[in-house]
Structure 1
Amino acid sequence: MPRDDAILDPRTSAWSVTTGLEDALAAIPPRSAEDAVLVVPVGEDAAATLAPLTALGLDADLVVATHEPSSTAGAVTTVPLAPGAHPVRRIVLVGSGDGSPRAWRTAGAAVGRATRGRGRVVHAVGDVAGSDGLPAWVESVVLASWTTPRWRSDGAQAGAVPAREVVVTGTDASAAVEHAVVRARAQLVARGLAHTPSNTKNPAWMARQARVVARGAGLDVTVWDERSLRRDGFGGLLAVGGGSATPPRLVRLDHEPVGATATTPRVVLVGKGITFDTGGLQVKPADGMLGMKTDMSGSAVVLAVLAACRALDVRVRVTGLLALAENAVDGASYRPGDVVTHYGGTTVEIGNTDAEGRIVLADALAYADAELDPTWLVDVATLTGAARIALGRVAAPVFANDDALRDALVDAGTSTGETLWPMPLSDTYRRALDSDVADLTHIAPGVGGGAVTAALFLREFVGARRWAHLDIAGTGRSDVDAGTDAKGATGFGTRLLLRWLEEMR
Structure 2
Amino acid sequence: MFAIRLTPRPADDSTLVLAVGPAGADALPEPLAGEVTALLSSADDPARPGAVQLLPRPARQPARVLLAGIGAGDEAGWRAAGAAIIRTVRADEPVGIALGPDVPAEGLCGLAEGLWLGGYRFRDAPRGPRTAEVTIAVTGAHPYEQSLETARVTAAATWLARDLANMPASVKNPAWFAEQIVAAAATRPGLTATVREPAQLAAEGFGGILAVGGGSASPPRLLELSWRPESASRHVVLVGKGITFDTGGISIKTRDGMKLMKKDMSGAAAVVAATLGAADLGLGVRITALAPLAENAVSGSAYRPGDVITQYDGTTTESTNSDAEGRLVLADALAYAVAELRPDVVLDLATLTGANAVALGKRTAALYSYDDELAAALTAAGAAAGESMWRLPLPDDYREYLRSDIADRHSSPTRGAGSVVAALFLSEFLGDRRDRWAHLDMSAPSWAEQDDGDLSVGATGWGTRTLLRWLVSA
Q: TM-score normalised to the size of structure 2?
A: 0.94
Query: Counterparts of 2:97 and 2:308 in 1: how far apart (Å)?
Result: 59
Query: Counterparts of 1:177 and 1:347 in 2: how far apart (Å)?
Result: 49
Query: How big is the shift at 1:375?
Result: 0.7
The one-letter amino acid of 1:105's match is R
Query: How big is the shift at 1:89?
Result: 3.2
Percent of pairs identical after alignment?
Answer: 45
Q: Which of these residues, 3, 6, 12, is aligned with residue 17 of structure 1?
A: 6
Asked if structure 2 preserves the Cα contact closer than 8 Å seen for 1:255 and 1:318, the reply is yes
SS class of match (1:411): helix
Query: Counterparts of 1:158 and 1:227 in 2: how far apart (Å)?
Result: 42
Is the alpha carbon distance of 1:125 and 1:393 closer, same or farther for their aligned partners in structure 2, counting shifts above 3 Å? farther
Asked if structure 2 preserves the Cα contact closer than 8 Å seen for 1:116 and 1:160, the reply is no
Query: Which consecutive aligned stretches of 4+ in structure 1 deviate over 6 angstroms post-superposition?
Result: none
Is the alpha carbon distance of 1:158 and 1:78 closer, same or farther for their aligned partners in structure 2, counting shifts above 3 Å? closer
The one-letter amino acid of 1:496's match is T
> Could you report, residue by residue, the CA deviation over 1:461-492 in whole angstroms, capped at 9, with x for unpaired residues?
11121100011111111111232112221111
The one-letter amino acid of 1:59's match is L
Say whether residues 1:337 and 2:306 are aligned partners.
yes
Q: Which of these residues, 232, 248, 254, is aligned with residue 279 of structure 1?
A: 248
> Could you report, residue by residue, the CA deviation over 1:113-163 in whole angstroms, capped at 9, with x for unpaired residues?
123414532222364543443322221111001123326xxxxx8843164
The one-letter amino acid of 1:501's match is L
SS class of match (1:318): strand
SS class of match (2:279): coil
Say whether residues 1:361 and 2:330 are aligned partners.
yes
5 Å-filtered alignment, 1:10-159, equals 12-18=1-7, 23-25=8-10, 28=11, 33=13, 36-46=14-24, 49-51=25-27, 53-54=28-29, 58-66=31-39, 68-69=42-43, 70-83=46-59, 85-86=60-61, 88-125=62-99, 127-150=101-124, 159=128
Say whether residues 1:473 and 2:443 are aligned partners.
yes
Say whether residues 1:451 and 2:419 are aligned partners.
yes
Q: Which of these residues, 218, 229, 251, is aligned with residue 246 of structure 1?
A: 218
Q: Which of these residues, 201, 209, 217, is aligned with residue 229 of structure 1?
A: 201
Asked if structure 1 preserves the Cα contact closer than 8 Å seen for 2:52 and 2:69, the reply is yes
Question: Which residue of the partner structure matches residue 3 of structure 1?
Answer: none
5 Å-filtered alignment, 1:155-166, equals 159-161=128-130, 163-166=132-135
Is the alpha carbon distance of 1:140 and 1:280 closer, same or farther for their aligned partners in structure 2, counting shifts above 3 Å? same
Q: Which of these residues, 275, 278, 282, is aligned with residue 306 of structure 1?
A: 275
Query: Counterparts of 1:292 and 1:390 in 2: how far apart (Å)?
Result: 21
The one-letter amino acid of 1:44's match is P
The answer to which of 246-255 and 217-226 deviates more is 217-226
Q: Which of these residues, 370, 391, 396, is aligned with residue 360 of structure 2?
A: 391
Question: Which residue of the partner structure matches residue 182 of structure 2?
Answer: 211
SS class of match (1:117): coil
Say whether residues 1:400 and 2:379 are aligned partners.
no
Aligned length: 466
5 Å-filtered alignment, 1:160-179, equals 160-161=129-130, 163-170=132-139, 172=142, 173-179=144-150
Query: Counterparts of 1:159 and 1:300 in 2: how far apart (Å)?
Result: 24
Query: Counterparts of 1:236 and 1:364 in 2: how far apart (Å)?
Result: 9
Query: How big is the shift at 1:408?
Result: 0.8
Query: Counterparts of 2:100 and 2:402 in 1: how far apart (Å)?
Result: 53
Query: Counterparts of 2:447 and 2:79 in 1: how far apart (Å)?
Result: 19
Asked if structure 2 preserves the Cα contact closer than 8 Å seen for 1:37 and 1:118, the reply is no
CA RMSD of aligned residues (A): 1.8
Query: How big is the shift at 1:62?
Result: 3.1
Asked if structure 2 preserves the Cα contact closer than 8 Å seen for 1:271 and 1:381, the reply is yes
Is the alpha carbon distance of 1:66 and 1:427 closer, same or farther for their aligned partners in structure 2, counting shifts above 3 Å? closer
SS class of match (2:431): coil
> Could you report, residue by residue, the CA deviation over 1:2-44 in whole angstroms, capped at 9, with x for unpaired residues?
xxxxxxxxxx2322334xxxx323xx3x6xx1xx122101121
Asked if structure 1 preserves the Cα contact closer than 8 Å seen for 2:365 and 2:440, the reply is yes
The one-letter amino acid of 1:266's match is H
The one-letter amino acid of 1:104's match is W
Query: How big is the shift at 1:72?
Result: 2.2
The answer to which of 244-253 and 429-438 deviates more is 429-438
Is the alpha carbon distance of 1:168 and 1:420 closer, same or farther for their aligned partners in structure 2, counting shifts above 3 Å? farther
Asked if structure 2 preserves the Cα contact closer than 8 Å seen for 1:104 and 1:129, the reply is no
Say whether residues 1:196 and 2:181 are aligned partners.
no
Query: Counterparts of 1:435 and 1:76 in 2: how far apart (Å)?
Result: 57
Is the alpha carbon distance of 1:58 and 1:41 closer, same or farther for their aligned partners in structure 2, counting shifts above 3 Å? same
Query: Counterparts of 1:181 and 1:210 in 2: how far apart (Å)?
Result: 19
Is the alpha carbon distance of 1:292 and 1:274 closer, same or farther for their aligned partners in structure 2, counting shifts above 3 Å? same
Query: Counterparts of 1:160 and 1:77 in 2: how far apart (Å)?
Result: 24
Q: TM-score normalised to the size of structure 1?
A: 0.88
SS class of match (1:38): strand
> Could you report, residue by residue, the CA deviation over 1:39-81 in whole angstroms, capped at 9, with x for unpaired residues?
10112123xx142x32xx6430233214645222211112223
Asked if structure 2 preserves the Cα contact closer than 8 Å seen for 1:269 and 1:320, the reply is yes
The one-letter amino acid of 1:124's match is A
SS class of match (2:58): coil
Asked if structure 1 preserves the Cα contact closer than 8 Å seen for 2:26 and 2:100, the reply is no
The one-letter amino acid of 1:139's match is E
Asked if structure 1 preserves the Cα contact closer than 8 Å seen for 2:195 and 2:222, the reply is yes
Structure 1 unmatched ranges of 5 or more: 1-11, 152-156
The answer to which of 383-392 and 66-75 deviates more is 66-75
Query: Counterparts of 2:80 and 2:453 in 1: how far apart (Å)?
Result: 7
Asked if structure 2 preserves the Cα contact closer than 8 Å seen for 1:312 and 1:502, the reply is no
Asked if structure 2 preserves the Cα contact closer than 8 Å seen for 1:80 and 1:91, the reply is yes
Asked if structure 2 preserves the Cα contact closer than 8 Å seen for 1:387 and 1:396, the reply is yes
Query: Counterparts of 2:192 and 2:139 in 1: how far apart (Å)?
Result: 40
Structure 2 unmatched ranges of 5 or more: none
SS class of match (1:217): coil
Query: Counterparts of 1:323 and 1:163 in 2: how far apart (Å)?
Result: 39
> Could you report, residue by residue, the CA deviation over 1:66-124 in whole angstroms, capped at 9, with x for unpaired residues?
464522221111222334x43x4321111222323333232221012123414532222
